[in-house]
A and B are shown apart, each in its own frame.
Chain A
Amino acid sequence: MRDTPRYRRLLDLRLGGGRRSAAEMDLEIETHLAMRVADLVRQGMTPDEARAAALARFGDFDAARTRLHAAARQRDKALRHRDRLGALAADLRYTARQARRTPGFVAAVVITLALGIGANTAIFSVTSALLLHQLPYTDADRLVLLWNRSPLRAGAVFPARSSP
């Protein structure tokens, strides 16, 4: 579709793609000038006059060429970015299609993950409360719980609040 295949553009990232963009722009400008010159010569100019006239239509030619090199580099950067986004979207679409084709496998994976994460969370909550966090009192390790045994009702036990 485009002049440069996608894999080439991806490689260009490493292989000095900026220089390639500029060289391509030069080729494009040269083609443009050659066609303009040919037209002007057909209209009766000498080749030298025609060349000068064709260059003049770029304004300050050297400055224009530098600007166009920058524009070409910018363009290729944008295209590479677009390619990467496109590849990511294609991967996601492919994944979704595969997942739809094997619903049993997807269900197994989802349930495994859900149980695994759920069990870990439950165990960690308990462990964290019991072992890792101290009670919010000073000298938490010296807290005691006192129990009263009632003489009136045999076997009945009442917790009693301990006051510091």
Chain B
Amino acid sequence: MDDGLPLLKGTLDLLILKTLSWGPMHGYAIATWLEDRSNGALGVDDSALYQALQRMEGRGWLSAEWGTTEHNRRARYYKLTASGRRRLRDESAVWTRYTTSVTTILGLASRTA
């Protein structure tokens, strides 16, 4: 993961929200889900992931409960709250507008001297 792209500020929250829109998951499942979907391109630091999960739960975007994994391990399962779902919708729209604008500008043909 050392060679993964560094995450832009605020991106991790959005990625976590999106991941959890697929259903409740524990922290490790979120990490592997993101690694798999991005083919290992996104560098998610495990410590930063849990940091973000605690912060987002504190803000009421996620709720968590202890459950048991298929291998009989106790794990803390996170899931989206209604406010988290709203947050995902709003932040996705902002992200799309932002990246579209930047991509448009980067795609402009350079003025040749």
Interface residues of A (CB under 8 A from B): 1-3, 24-25, 27-29, 31-32, 34-36, 38-39, 57-59, 64, 67-68, 71-72, 74-75, 77-79, 82
Q: Which of A31, A58, A78 contacts B73 (CB 8 A)?
A: A31
Within the complex, the shortest CB–CB distance from B105 to chain A, in Å, comes to: 34
Quick one: closest B residue to A31, CB to CB?
B75
Q: Which of B27, B57, B63, B66 contacts A32 (CB 8 A)?
A: B27
> 5 A-B pairs, CB-CB below 8 angstroms?
A35-B28, A39-B32, A58-B46, A64-B47, A74-B54
A32 x B47 contact (CB < 8 A): no
B contact patch SS? mixed
B6 at the binding interface (Cβ < 8 Å): no
Interface string of B42-71 (1 = CB under 8 A from A): 000111001100110111100111100101
Chain B residues positioned under 8 Å from A68 (CB to CB)? 47, 50-51, 54
Q: Which of A28, A39, A59, A75 contacts B55 (CB 8 A)?
A: A75
Given A68-B51, A78-B58, A79-B57: A59 in contact with B76 (beta carbons within 8 A): no
A contact patch SS? helix
Chain A residues positioned under 8 Å from B32 (CB to CB)? 39
Considering the chains assembled together, what is the distance between the CA atoms of A58 and B45 in angstroms? 6
Considering the chains assembled together, what is the distance between the CA atoms of A30 and B32 in angstroms? 16
Q: Across chains A and B, which 9 residue pairs bring their CB atoms closest together, nearest first?
A: A78-B58, A64-B47, A71-B54, A75-B58, A75-B54, A35-B28, A58-B47, A57-B46, A3-B65
Within the complex, the shortest CB–CB distance from A70 to chain B, in Å, comes to: 9
A71 x B46 contact (CB < 8 A): no
Chain B residues positioned under 8 Å from A82 (CB to CB)? 60
